[in-house]
Amino acid sequence: DGETPLYVATQNGHNDVVSTLITIGANVNQPDMVYFFEKDTIKCIYLVGWSNPSLIAACNGYNGIASTLIDAGANINQAKNDGWTSLYVAAENGHNDAVSRLIVAGANINQVQNYEETSLHVAARNDYNDIVSILLQARANPNIKASRDNTPLYAAAQNGHADIVKLLISFGANVNGAGSVFYLYKSNLFSLLVGPLFIAAQNGRIEVVSTLISANANIDQANSDGSTPILIAAQNGHKFIVIKLVSAGANVNQASNEGNSALHLAAQVGHKKIVWLLIVAGANRHQPATDGWTPLFNAAANGHTEIIPLLILTGFKTNHTAQDGSTALYVAAQNGHEEFVKFLIGEKADVNIATKTGKTALYLAAEKGYCGIDGLTPLVIATTNGHEQVVGLMKQKLQVKVYEELQIINAVKSENISQLHLLLNNIINPNMADMDGNNLLHLAIIHDHPSVLQMLLRIPSIDCTCYNKNNENPLTLSMKKGNRSLIKLIHTALEKPMHYIKKEDLNIENEPFGGGASGTVFKGKYLNRIVAVKKLQISDSDVLKREIDAMLLRRSPFILRLIGVSDLNTNAPKLILEYMDGGDLRLHLFKLRSKKQTLTNYSALEIAWVVANALADIHRNGYIHRDLKSENILLSTKNYIKVADLGLSRDIKTTMTQGAGTVHWTAPEVLKGEEYGYPSDIYSFGVVLTELDTLQIPYPGFNPFQIIKKVKNNSLRPVLSNECPRWYKNMVEGCLAHDPNQRPAALDIVHILQAQLYVERSTRYSNSTDALIQTMEKTNALSNLTPVIFGESNPDTTSMEREVFFT
């Protein structure tokens, strides 16, 4: 593998050996050859000149060895194939002393790697405050640009490192220096030049936004598509950032190249509070985009009925036409938003205005078959035929219905069981929702009311599977809340028998997207629902039965759900499973380490808590997983986090001594050929915990044979980062104890993580945008922004309507 004795001694931190080898003439600059083992084989791929002793010493923070190599004439600016130098590696891994020593020895501070990043870029991105300070004091260029024009300040702003942003500014960083971001649009990759303030506003970095504003950043600086910080903050729902920008004097009516203002985008996404804030700050409700659409059109296209009262105030032109002749009513009808259409017709929108193609809203709704929109509802008929008294009576009835629904929602929030029981007896449909899309089950979970949840679950027509605007159904919401009692209630209500699925009811894509030891996984569709289809590569009926039983007997909300089976009596039986669009944890962590965008954004603590719960459920039922690793932990935007691949599970009474998993996650006793028990799963979990902390697979630089030998004799263990909290280190050390009897039980780990999860979520809530805005509203901090417009009176709007829509 090209490793010299000097390289091996450096890798293992043996300072005396390094000195001895140098004394007898070892070449301090000779590189090694990297090798990658194919999974579960010893077949290797070699790359020459990957690293050298100085880089290894810098990577591991071996300061004594680094000094010895420098004194022996090591070339500290010698780079790897990817351009990484010793200084870059030391900065990337947070080794302050190594960075200082290399600078003193003459390291090139501004040397760039292949992506034209410098040590200052990587230290700023990784939030290494001390290293950024050391580099700047050594005269690193704070405005040096990477390959995508990104400066160190841009990297710090993008990742929310406010202290580093302040530090870079104090050394002369350009607060308006633009960098590039990439995005996909219609399968094409585009690049946009955006400034630090824009990227901070986009990512919700409140502290960074405040710092940049204080440093006189251009608050109206537009990127290459014309979008400004306030536009992107409004679009992404960052309410407090919108307030910050408005208070600093941002132009709320500045439009993008397509003519969209912040109000257009907030109305399009349905951010009611932001729409209100922008109108308060003087946003033009009538401002048309290049296609003639006003913000009302954006709300109409997406069915955000709750936005209408904010946009339709005195003097508003309900019948404004766009360049194609369409009205907001036409757009709402075109997209099938019945409630929006009803509201606009109640506000005297003209159903007979025709587009340039000659179609009216009424014609379009009839053509599309929207029976609730095309004039057949009593309210629409009465309005279009001019029966004003009837319209008034019907609108009054609608107001009463809204008021009753608000009473029910408030009863759920306040845990008023008796009132809730009385109110629910008088309605037909219990599946109402608040403005965030939360139905009554969601609200009972949000407010931690198990008694209310139990009562609601006894209602036959209650919808247990609906999603709110955060893409959460009641089960995933209860899992995110971390309340095991609520999770159990919802999961029990959702449990259904396994289905046998006919071949013709299942649509399967041609190309696989994953696989395991026992089969290949394809994406499919069943009953209009995206599913994963696992085609098993087995013909033994006993093996198939064991695979299915493993999933049915270990049912848990934390374990991948088996929806059904198909083609059981063929050579290619199939399991139909939940589809996890976020992929596996290993890929997720790789993307995080590579600073790439991920589909999900769950914290390490959330993931650890779910996996610990899955193990607790498996062990409670008398089984063990036997193949727990990051590749078998799946993530999803809709189904949250699940543990998968139970095909290797065994009853604890029939455990096998041979290890099933990959060596990186395998317990020492299993590698020795001893019994595989509950503690063996806990060891594997401990390795996963180290991955969540370091974002990488343990034992880099060791081949499988070395790993097996060293783990068996307790001379090699996974490591944690320097930033890892003490409580986390203690838990990991317990899970990785060499003696299986010293490892904690899964349920004990759940309790440890439960307490920490509570602390994390309490802190997150106390710092949240909503909490900040609520505080500002209570202390009248927004009173200075209130314009005359809210003193206007709409004679067609009753006091009840105003109460309903402005509460």
| pLDDT single digits (tens) 536-548 | 766 555 666 666 7
Look at residue 43 and give its three-state secondary structure.
coil
| Domain 585-753 in the same topology as domain 499-578 | no
Query: What are the residue ranges spanned by the domains of the chain?
Result: 391-494, 499-578, 585-753
What is the average pLDDT score of the chain?
80
Which residues partner with 533 through β-bridges?
522, 576
What is the amino acid identity at position 480?
K
Given a cut of 70, is residue 384 above it in pLDDT?
no
pLDDT band at 514 (very low <50, low <70, confident <90, very high): confident
Q: How far apart are CA 252 and CA 306, in angstroms?
A: 21
Share of the chain above pLDDT 70, in %: 78
| Out of 23-27, 327-331, 372-376, 678-682, least confident range | 372-376
CATH topology of domain 391-494: 1.25.40
What is the C-alpha R_g of the chain?
31
Is the Cβ–Cβ distance between 680 and 686 less than 8 Å?
A: no
User: What's the pLDDT at 390?
Assistant: 43
User: What's the pLDDT at 530?
Assistant: 94
H-run or E-run covering 182: strand 179-185
Given a cut of 90, is residue 78 above it in pLDDT?
no
Q: How far apart are CA 653 and CA 511, in angstroms?
A: 39
114-126 pLDDT, tens digit per residue, is 666 889 999 999 9
From the list 566, 567, 585, 667, the residue with the least C-alpha distance to 626 is 667
Given a cut of 60, is residue 361 above it in pLDDT?
yes
Q: Give all strands (DSSP E) within 547-677, no chain letters.
A: 562-566, 574-578, 623-624, 633-636, 640-643, 650-651
Q: How far apart are CA 634 and CA 287, in angstroms?
A: 45
User: What's the pLDDT at 313?
Assistant: 64
pLDDT band at 2 (very low <50, low <70, confident <90, very high): low
| Out of 196-210, 234-248, 399-413, least confident range | 399-413
Is the Cβ–Cβ distance between 37 and 704 less than 8 Å?
A: yes
CATH topology of domain 585-753: Transferase(Phosphotransferase); domain 1 (1.10.510)
**Helix orientation angle between 96-104 and 53-60, rounded to the nearest 10 degrees:** 140
Given a cut of 60, is residue 428 above it in pLDDT?
yes
Which residues partner with 433 through β-bridges?
439
Given a cut of 60, is residue 758 above it in pLDDT?
yes
User: What's the pLDDT at 805?
Assistant: 30
Q: What are phi and psi of 531, to 5 degrees?
A: -135, 165
652-707 pLDDT, tens digit per residue, is 444 444 444 589 999 999 999 998 999 999 999 999 999 999 999 999 888 889 99
Is the Cβ–Cβ distance between 343 and 375 less than 8 Å?
A: no
pLDDT band at 476 (very low <50, low <70, confident <90, very high): very high
User: What's the pLDDT at 34?
Assistant: 53
User: Considering the domain 499-578, what is its CATH architecture?
Assistant: 2-Layer Sandwich (3.30)
Q: What are phi and psi of 520, to 5 degrees?
A: -110, 145
